[in-house]
Amino acid sequence: MPSAAKKWLLKILSSRLAGDDFVWLTLDAPPDWQSRPGQFVNIRCCEPCADELSPLSLDDRPDAPWPRTRGLEIAERSTLVRRPVSICDLRTHPDGGREIVLLVRIVGPGSRILSAKRPGDTLDCLGPIGNAFNLDAPGRRAWLIGGGCGIAPLVGLGRALVARGREVTLFYGGRDSGKIPLSLPPGLGPTGTQAVPVTGIPELGGAPLVIATEDGSLGVKGLVTDALQAYAAQTGWDDVALFGCGPDRMMSAVATLVALHDLPSCQVSMENFMGCAIGVCLSCATKVRADNTAGFVTKFVCQDGPIFEARDVIFEQKWEGCKP
């Protein structure tokens, strides 16, 4: 399927470190930029980008020492392939300007280069890529479950669902409180086995958030699925649509809950190593259940996804611990 993505040079408006290893970036959205919750951009991570070095003239500088170390692969510090990053939100300011919000977890060379970018720098982005969350999934209550960087696409999704009159609750799990890249109100602490929604978090536009930490330092002690079950024990599972983004292990656990409680819909945003994100490298293969002899068909996260129905996905959890 041909991609509708284009190449854009987007200006960075702000960069802000958060938590132990996250960075929030806002980019100036061009007037003709269109994106929907769940889509992503594929970003070139280089410093500087070789295009700016004019490859044809690099060799001809009269002052270059001899013998010269040449070759752009040496001149630029970069990752070779781009890095896919979820679009967190597309916000409109009172003055009419719009900004694309990204949340990046600093885990490898690509994300490290992105974290060092400053306001005024430009990012070479392909996008928007991928399908999007279906905002019309049945369920008056929308529960959005994220882990790690998986909170990113849920932010804009939450806002869009609130605008459609859904009652939105976010669930976020991390190892400890340092793994939460949000501006939490002061005075929060452990809540044991009780799911206590926190409101007034600016990054979430005020949507209530139930937090789980594995060390119990903040919110529910345990995994995000424990927080989800604790909340469900208080409010029931009726009329709920689930949305998720996080490690395969987390999404797999969420899919198990979906089956157990026979929920009509749970859309998950999947992650996989991508070489191109335009559907040619065939790296991001994901198995989706099918009624054939093999029992599955191969779908590609970049073009068929990244959003899939959880019940369709065969979770293999092979990519955990990869360092983009």
Name the residues that contact other proteins, by CB under 8 A: 1-7, 44, 50, 55-56, 58-59, 71-73, 79-82, 126, 272-276, 278-286, 294, 298, 316, 318-319, 321-322
Residue closer to other proteins (CB basis): 54 or 183: 54
**How many Å separate Cα 1 from the centre of its chain?**
23
Q: How far apart are CA 313 and CA 67, in angstroms?
A: 55
φ, ψ dihedrals at 129, nearest 5°: -115, 145
Residue type, 114: L
Report the residue count for the chain.
Answer: 324
The least CB distance from residue 81 to other proteins, in Å, is: 5
Residue closer to other proteins (CB basis): 131 or 217: 131
Q: Cα dist. 66→62, 72, 130, 241 in Å?
A: 10, 17, 48, 65
The least CB distance from residue 222 to other proteins, in Å, is: 25
Contact residues for 152 (Cβ-Cβ < 8 A; gap 6+): 85, 86, 87, 88, 102, 103, 146, 245
The least CB distance from residue 299 to other proteins, in Å, is: 12
Residue closer to other proteins (CB basis): 190 or 279: 279
Contact residues for 257 (Cβ-Cβ < 8 A; gap 6+): 225, 228, 229, 263
The least CB distance from residue 75 to other proteins, in Å, is: 11
- What is the number of other CB atoms lying within 10 angstroms of the CB of residue 119? 12
The least CB distance from residue 282 to other proteins, in Å, is: 5
What are 57's two structure tokens?
Answer: 């003239």
Residue closer to other proteins (CB basis): 152 or 301: 301
Contact residues for 95 (Cβ-Cβ < 8 A; gap 6+): none
Rounded to 5°, angle at Cα 222 from 243 and 17: 70
The least CB distance from residue 21 to other proteins, in Å, is: 17
Strand, coil or helix: 155: helix
The least CB distance from residue 18 to other proteins, in Å, is: 26
The least CB distance from residue 116 to other proteins, in Å, is: 19
Residue closer to other proteins (CB basis): 10 or 170: 10
Tokens 């909340």 sit at which residue?
231
Residue closer to other proteins (CB basis): 159 or 299: 299
Residue closer to other proteins (CB basis): 33 or 319: 319
Q: How far apart are CA 135 and CA 149, in angstroms?
A: 21
Residue closer to other proteins (CB basis): 64 or 322: 322
